[in-house]
Amino acid sequence: MSGEMDKPLISRCLIDSDGSLAEAPSGAPKVGILGSGDFARSLATRLVGSGFSVVVGSRNPKRTAGLFPASVQVTFQEEAVSSPEVIFVAVFREHYSTLCSLSDLLAGKILVDVSNPTEQEHLRHRESNAEFLASLFPTCTVVKAFNVISAWTLQAGPRDGNRQVPICSDQQEAKHVVSEMVRAMGFMPVDMGSLTSAREVEAMPLRLLPGWKVPTLLALGLFVCFYAYNFIRDVLQPYVQEGKNKFYKLPVSVVNTTLPCVAYVLLSLVYLPGVLAATLQLQWGTKYRRFPDWLDHWLQHRKQIGLLSFFCAALHALYSFCLPLRRSHRYELINMAVKQVLANKSHLWVEEEVWRMEIYLSLGVLALGTLSLLAVTSLPSIANSLNWREFSFVQK
C-alpha cells in the first residue's frame, strides 16, 4: 500500500493533562471520514486518540466543524478524500449514490464501510451494504468493519464493550491495513473472510441474544413441565380426591417448588456435556477429533445454562423468603394453634420439625452461595483474571 499508510500504525493515546485531545503529530497516518453524524464524531475522536491524523469530509463543514475535536480537520468531501489512503464511509446506504461524484478521487483507495441496515432493509436487499458500495466504486477496495461497535464504545473505550471487530474484504492486503488500525484503536480484529460475508456481519447487530435462545427455551420448557407436575400433585389431586381448595398456592407455593427443580436440572446440564466429551475422547483415543454437532452446541451453551440455573436459584430464595409473609400462611398457623388447643396439647413446639427447617434453610443458603461463586467466576471479566488451575479449583 502506497502513501502514508505504509508507515507503522502505532497505538498511543494523545491525551493532555487536562483531559483534552492533543494535536496529532505531523507524521501520523492520515485517515479520512465521509460523514458527520454521531458515529463519525466518535470514530474521529477514537482515531485521534490512537495516534492518527483525521480529516472529515462534510457537505457543510462550517456547521459541523465545532462538533469534532480541535485536532480533526473538517472540510469538503472532495478535499477530505484527496490525500488519505483509507476512507471510512459513515453514511447511510441510501446516501451512497451521492458519493459517486468522488469516484475519480477515490480510485485505488480503501473504503471502510461501517454502516448497519435496519431489519427491514436487511430482509429486503439481497446484497449487503458493503457489496452495494463495492458495486458503486469498482476501482476501490471495500472493507466491512466497525459496524458492531457502537458510538458509545468508541468514546468510552473497548474495556466497556466487546473488543472484537469482524472484518471482511476480497483483498487480503486491505484487511491487514484495517486490522492494524483496529489493533491501534485497542480492539481485536476478527477475519470473517471475503466480502460476501458482509451480509452475515451486518446481521450481527440485529440479533437479540442469539446465544440465549436455546438455553432460555430449555429453561422455560423445564419450568412448564415441573410446574404442571407440582400443580397436579399439590393442587389438583387434593381437590379431586379430598375436595380441598388449594388453588391459592398457584402464584407462590407451586412456583417456589418448581424453581429449585429447574435449577438442579440446569446445573446438571452444565457439567454433563463435559463428562460426555471426555468419554468420547477416551473412546476415540484422541482429543483432536471433532465432537458431534449436538454435543458441540451443548458445550457452547453451558455458560448461559449455568447463569439461568443461578437465576432460578436466586428466585427460589426470594420466593422462600416471601412464604412466611403470605396471609394464607398466617391463617394456617392460627388454625393449627386452634387445633392444638382444642386437642389439649399445651406445647406447640415440635423439636424434629424445628431442626429440619433450620437445617433446610442453612443448606439452602450454602447452596445458593456456592452457585453464586460458580456464576461469578464464569463471567469473562472474572474468568480472565484467573489462571486455569484457579478456575478449575473453583469449578470443582
Q: List pLDDT tens digits, range 247-259.
A: 988 998 999 999 9
* Residue 30: partners with Cβ closer than 8 Å, 6 or more residues away: 4, 52, 53, 54, 55, 83, 84, 85
Q: Is 13 domain-assigned? A: no
Q: Is 328 domain-assigned? A: no
Rounded Cα distance, 80 and 256, in Å: 64
Rounded Cα distance, 206 and 119, in Å: 7
Task: Return the bridge partners of 166, or none.
Answer: 190
Helix ranges (H only) for the chain are: 38-49, 61-64, 77-80, 103-106, 119-124, 129-136, 151-156, 172-184, 198-203, 213-231, 237-242, 253-284, 293-300, 302-322, 327-342, 351-378, 380-383, 388-395
Number of neighbouring beta carbons within 10 Å of residue 234: 16
Rounded Cα distance, 138 and 333, in Å: 81
pLDDT at 316 > cutoff 60: yes
In contact, 56 and 33? CB cutoff 8 Å: yes
What is the average pLDDT value for the chain, to the nearest integer? 85
What is the SS3 assignment for 315? helix
Is 118 found in the same domain as 159? yes
State residue 119's pLDDT score.
78
Name the percent of the chain lying above pLDDT 90: 59
- Diameter of the chain measured on Cα atoms: 103
Mean pLDDT of all residues in 335-363: 73
Domain span at residue 312?
Answer: 212-323
Encoded amino acid at 344, one letter: N
> For strand 141-144 and strand 30-34, is the pairing parallel, antiparallel, or unpaired?
unpaired
Rounded Cα distance, 8 and 325, in Å: 67
* Residue 307: partners with Cβ closer than 8 Å, 6 or more residues away: 375, 378
pLDDT at 337 > cutoff 60: yes
State residue 14's pLDDT score.
42
pLDDT tens-digit series, residues 84-110: 999 999 999 999 999 999 999 999 999
> At 329, is the pLDDT very low, low, confident or very high (cuts 50, 70, 90)?
low
Is 194 found in the same domain as 50? yes
Is 216 found in the same domain as 116? no
Domain boundary among the residues 303, 323, 343 is at 323
Mean pLDDT of all residues in 6-13: 39
Domain boundary among the residues 161, 184, 206 is at 206
Mean pLDDT of all residues in 184-210: 91
Domain boundary among the residues 272, 301, 323 is at 323
Is 275 found in the same domain as 229? yes
> At 384, is the pLDDT very low, low, confident or very high (cuts 50, 70, 90)?
confident
> At 330, is the pLDDT very low, low, confident or very high (cuts 50, 70, 90)?
low
Looking up residue 114, the CATH number of its domain turns out to be: 3.40.50.720
Is 220 found in the same domain as 173? no
Is 149 found in the same domain as 54? yes
CA distances from 168 to 114, 142, 173, 184, 187 (A): 12, 9, 11, 18, 16
In contact, 72 and 46? CB cutoff 8 Å: no
Is 190 found in the same domain as 219? no
Is 280 found in the same domain as 145? no
